[in-house]
Structure 1
Amino acid sequence: MKYDVIVIGSGMAGMTIANKCAKKGLRTAVTDSRPYGGTCALRGCDPKKILVGAAEIIDRANKMKGIGIQGDISINWQDLMAYKNDFVSKMPKGVEKGYEKAGVDMYHGAASFESEDTVRIGDNLLEADKIVIATGARPVILDIPGGDLPIDSTDFLELIHLPEHITFIGGGYIAMEFAHLAARAGIKVTIIHRGQMPLENFEADIVNHLVNATEELGIELHLEWDVVAVEKTDNGFTVKAASKNGEKTIQTDLVVNAAGRVPELDGMNLEKANISYNRKGIQVNEYLQSKTNTSVYAAGDAADSHGLNLTPVAVMEGHAVAANIIQGNSKTPDYTEMPSAVFTLPTLASVGMTEKQAKETGLEYQVKDGTASNWYNAKRINESTYAYKVISDKEGHILGAHIIGPHAEEMINLFAMAIRGKLTVSDIRNIVYAYPSMGSDIGSMV
């Protein structure tokens, strides 16, 4: 079978590319080894945020208890999971209807390359002028004794019951978010992380506030410890860890592998198609085209691009790839601003440079930072963790903004717009904001 375009992967990047190409009249096919929709919609952002939404209610109620709120509330995990599953289960059919409407041929199965322009999907041998790899990422495999025993983030989002004690391996988004969720559900939680700090790519001063909030919640956070083995026991699991200070063992009911994710390129026979790749993904040029096979493009977490591994960035890269396939290479992704959020409670959000990165550029810069727990927006909901750090250049343009606090994920979008629009500190201060609102605080943060 011959196509103009074959898209491998039906996440947000692949979906964008397949639909846009088909609507422009290109004969397009898509395939996925899992149900259509991708990680974010089915196994990541969307279902996670539904669960976090329940934890937010618990958090707000607990902080207001005794100052206007009385009585106890708790999470019914089974009901919450049923609600989440009902939402998620409708996604694949909706995605397929979209493909059908756009005229995209759909396949279900893993794709492997037979040559530079041919892939095999089960018994089907498909040839195309352009092939797009948008397979996303998968959890890293733990290379330790018992490394296959922990569940991963996908499994966690399918848990029917929560055990009394969960141990997370890793200190990134997944570990921190799920730990905060589980703790609000009344579960004892332990995090073991090999680094000096969790969330090592975020602004260190803001992460420190999150560490304090995490420990105050009762989560055990073990930093600079390497997990060296996991063993199954009659009552659960034993996690063995080591550091420069010695060794320790932790008895737990469940272990979650949250040690990171890597591009999902396994079994694709990339060598047969002359496609170069590394641990960050398919090596691409500025147009997201393979450096070694011009028939191939890559987008999202499967590409070694300059973008962060975030859904909105994958969508943006998808639009760029589609444009380059349809019109010829002419569009490069714009990574000017890439806001991200860690949906702990409170939320940590970031856009642009950290202070460390600004220092490494050699630019002249200035920093305004502080705690805002005594500001009205924190006081009104009795939130004790609220802090910010904003970095600007000598002309006053925002280089980076970092916030921890209520609705930080919404506030960071305002800073992203300021970076995109090249607003200065003076511009931001002079805007008239709706009040009282969280957004009105950003004028005091710059």
Structure 2
Amino acid sequence: MAKTYDVIVIGSGTAATTVAKRVSATGRSVAVTDFRPYGGTCALRGCDPKKMLIGGTSAADHARRMHGKGVEGDVRIDWHELLAFKRSFTDPVPDKKEKGFSESGIATFHGRARFVGPNAVEVDGETLEARHIVLVTGAEPMKLGIPGEEHLIDNEGFLEMEDLPRRILLVGGGYIAAEFSHIAARAGAEVTILQHGDRMLKGFDPDLVGWLMEKYEEIGVTLHTGTEVKRIEKTGDTFRITAASGGGSETFEADMVVHAAGRKPDFEPLDLKAGGVELRDGKLALNEYLQSTSNPAVYAAGDIAQMGPPLTPVSNHDGKVVVANLLEGNHRTPNYKGVPSVAFTLPPLARVGLDESEAHERGLKFRMQCNRTPDWFSTRQQAESVTGYKVLVEEGSERILGAHLLGPHADEVINVFTLAVRHGLTADQLKDTMFAYPTGASDISSML
């Protein structure tokens, strides 16, 4: 006999938690299911554990930059201790998350959920039915379709590796490659990146990415652009990677090969056809309310919805939109204006709003300030040389159209520009704001 609920949530990450707890708080019955430990990608396999590792590597990096400036002695990373520090956060998450659901009156299940009808899923042989089903299963590493693909470790494998290999090769040039290479190199590994495109971090301003590349050279990361991996072979404990580049072929050797070539939702295990949930161009066919256009009982949020950028704050925002539409009828649509994005390299790279090409494509008239800032106090105090900014301001309205930052405080200062972009604040309003000094935010008036 099937168990019946008002809402079934498939997934247990950021969006899932938002949906499940907010719906349950209204007295409706809710069930959550996940085939992995509860917590989702961000808390267990992505943002948070990565930032825990960066906590150690950034501390060591800062100490090294301060050599000759009052700091002495060799600083090195003990990988086992750093991993234990990371696990002090991640290990308690699944039990804490499940306990939180239970205390909120939410039923919890473990196992892969697959549709067996428009309003029903099966989990580990048990049938669950509901008025509404919310898909929040995130994304998985993309299939590359190359021989030896099984030898790649993914982001989860990297964040759980017990020992740091001597030679690490990353396939791809996005967030994962950018961030993991900085962690591994500063921890003592020899790092190589193979990127099929002409540059890394294509979602960020090309000028600032170019400045950041100087840091890759400084820490000894070898980057090959225009290079497409064709085969991975394992010989003993060593991997041989064959890649095409410039019309020829190159080979590389490594002790670990990391998948950093992008992520996408994995629809196959869900058996969407059985639930009457259609895809359009490889994505869930959703209306503006994040509801399935073919099965109105189904909503989606976060990475699997593929409506906004694949970022944790977007998942949380989508979850709130879904809750509002579930409880009050379809009336709320997501707003992705002014979503900040940060690559947590050392130093971090951040952006919000439009870049130059996007502003030109929209026919906007704007002025732009762009400078490198190695002599600013906030930069010198951190003993960092690779820093700079680019800010776009619309002519006439003086609205901030976009901001692109590179430097020690970029990941925090970008939030001020996010407020401006999302809520239409002007350059004059920012310049008139008195920020605490000396801080990264106190540099903002000089960028305008």
CA distance in 2, matches of 1:279, 1:57: 45
Cα deviations by residue, 1:251-283 (Å, 9 ceiling, x for unpaired): 111100111101132311101222122566422
Alignment match, 1:247 = 249
CA distance in 2, matches of 1:55, 1:126: 45
Q: Give the aligned residue type for 2:128.
A: L
Alignment match, 1:122 = 124
Cα deviations by residue, 1:52-77 (Å, 9 ceiling, x for unpaired): 01011111111111121111011110
For the aligned residue pairs, the C-alpha RMSD in angstroms reads 1.1
Alignment match, 1:399 = 401
Alignment match, 1:438 = 440
Alignment match, 1:348 = 349
CA distance in 2, matches of 1:27, 1:430: 50
CA distance in 2, matches of 1:408, 1:441: 11
Alignment match, 1:374 = 375
Q: Give the aligned residue type for 2:317.
A: M
CA deviation after TM superposition for structure 1 residue 284, in Å: 1.4
Alignment match, 1:309 = 310
Q: Give the aligned residue type for 1:364.
A: K
CA distance in 1, matches of 2:331, 2:356: 33
CA distance in 1, matches of 2:137, 2:281: 14
| Change over 3 Å in CA distance of 1:279–1:301 after alignment to 2 | farther
Alignment match, 1:151 = 153
Which of residues 41, 53, 56 is equivalent to 2:55?
53
| Change over 3 Å in CA distance of 1:58–1:337 after alignment to 2 | same
CA deviation after TM superposition for structure 1 residue 337, in Å: 1.4
Structure 1 runs (4+) deviating above 3 angstroms are 278-281
* Seq. identity, %: 45
Q: SS at the partner of 1:267?
A: helix
Is 1:9–1:32's contact at 8 Å kept on the other side of the alignment? yes
CA distance in 1, matches of 2:441, 2:362: 29
Is 1:190–1:219's contact at 8 Å kept on the other side of the alignment? yes
CA distance in 2, matches of 1:127, 1:434: 54
Q: SS at the partner of 2:269?
A: coil
Alignment match, 1:133 = 135
- Correspondence 1:251-290 to 2 at 5 A: 251-278=253-280, 281-290=283-292
Q: Aligned pair 1:318/2:319, yes or no?
A: yes
Which of residues 21, 24, 35 is equivalent to 1:22?
24
| Change over 3 Å in CA distance of 1:27–1:235 after alignment to 2 | closer
Q: SS at the partner of 2:292?
A: coil
Specify every segment of 5 or more residues in structure 2 that has no aligned partner in the other structure, as ranges: none
Is 1:116–1:272's contact at 8 Å kept on the other side of the alignment? yes
Is 1:262–1:280's contact at 8 Å kept on the other side of the alignment? no
CA deviation after TM superposition for structure 1 residue 304, in Å: 2.6
Alignment match, 1:77 = 79
Q: Aligned pair 1:330/2:334, yes or no?
A: no
CA distance in 2, matches of 1:292, 1:235: 49
CA distance in 1, matches of 2:202, 2:315: 22
Is 1:262–1:279's contact at 8 Å kept on the other side of the alignment? no
When normalised by structure 2's length, the TM-score is: 0.97
Is 1:351–1:400's contact at 8 Å kept on the other side of the alignment? yes
| Change over 3 Å in CA distance of 1:232–1:158 after alignment to 2 | same
Alignment match, 2:426 = 424
CA distance in 2, matches of 1:71, 1:89: 33
Cα deviations by residue, 1:7-55 (Å, 9 ceiling, x for unpaired): 0001100111011111111111110000111000011111110000101
Is 2:382–2:408's contact at 8 Å kept on the other side of the alignment? no
CA distance in 2, matches of 1:235, 1:38: 31
CA deviation after TM superposition for structure 1 residue 420, in Å: 2.5
Alignment match, 2:104 = 102
CA distance in 2, matches of 1:283, 1:402: 33
Aligned residues: 445
CA distance in 2, matches of 1:104, 1:202: 40
